[in-house]
Amino acid sequence: MPSPIEIIAHGPIRELRLARAPVNALDPTLCRALREAVEAAADDGVAGLVLSGQPRFFSAGLDVPYLLTLDAPALRATWDSFFDAVRAIAASPVPVAAAITGHAPAGGCVLALACDYRVMTRGEFGIGLNETQVGLVAPIGIQQLMRRTVGQRQAERLLVGGLQVDPDEALRLGLVDALAEPEETVSIACGWLRSLLALPQAPMRETRRIARADLIDALLPDRLDLDRQLAAWQAPDTQAGLRALVARLGR
């Protein structure tokens, strides 16, 4: 069975390309492979990482049709595998740039928020934490990731409305750092990483560690409150919203 992560070398930079067709929906196999690939990169002496997706889809977020088939223990294990992958990105000892190659709702947006830098492909794509649109509440820690990126007021607007924004609006808000044509998204992410690699490495990495300490704290288990998330999953409003989402996906 092919790996759901494609590994591509760009000199001292390693690209981790999500490769679970058709939309890079996040299931335990993909999340475990992503966590392991991020952790292995540091052991291999890689100097920087690019997290990318397929054309038109960076990641559609957690695999909701799959989640709806699970019992409570399997559902918890799936959420745990996702948060483990996000923590691995956030805690990476080397910088991680997101090459957002298309849509990045919900869990796809969370992966991008855990990265150091975000480049998004121009086009009719959306990015955002759309949980309230499908009857969910983004955990406190995940909301903090949005606040640290776009600021308190804009985060409130985006989170409460469950809004996804297009690339131009994402750039205006600071949700992404740059826009690119499809064929240039990965190369611009690599270029940003190379600008960091030109710096003295020990001071850069220590400064980065200090600057990202709040990100690590936001992803601690007590800030994610998985018990509440799992209890809310069974609420009628949530189940209705999720099943409506699956129906839209089917169409």
Rounded Cα gap, residues 244 and 251, in angstroms: 11
pLDDT in tens, 193-243: 999 999 999 999 999 999 999 999 999 999 998 888 888 888 888 888 788
State the average pLDDT over residues 77-86: 97
Rounded Cα gap, residues 181 and 122, in angstroms: 6
pLDDT in tens, 133-184: 888 889 999 999 999 999 999 999 999 999 999 999 999 999 999 999 999 9
State the average pLDDT over residues 105-125: 98
Task: Supply φ then ψ for residue 21, to 5 degrees.
Answer: -65, 150
Whether residue 83 contacts residue 89, with contact meaning beta carbons closer than 8 Å, is answered with no
Other CB atoms within a 10 A radius of the CB of residue 198 amount to: 9
Closest alpha carbon to 212 in 111, 116, 127, 122: 116
This prediction's pTM: 0.96
Rounded Cα gap, residues 4 and 26, in angstroms: 10
Name every residue whose Cβ is closer than 8 Å to that of residue 212 and which is 6 or more positions away in sequence. Answer: 90, 116
pLDDT in tens, 40-61: 998 899 999 999 999 999 999 9
Name every residue whose Cβ is closer than 8 Å to that of residue 44 and which is 6 or more positions away in sequence. Answer: 14
Q: Has residue 127 got a pLDDT over 80?
A: yes
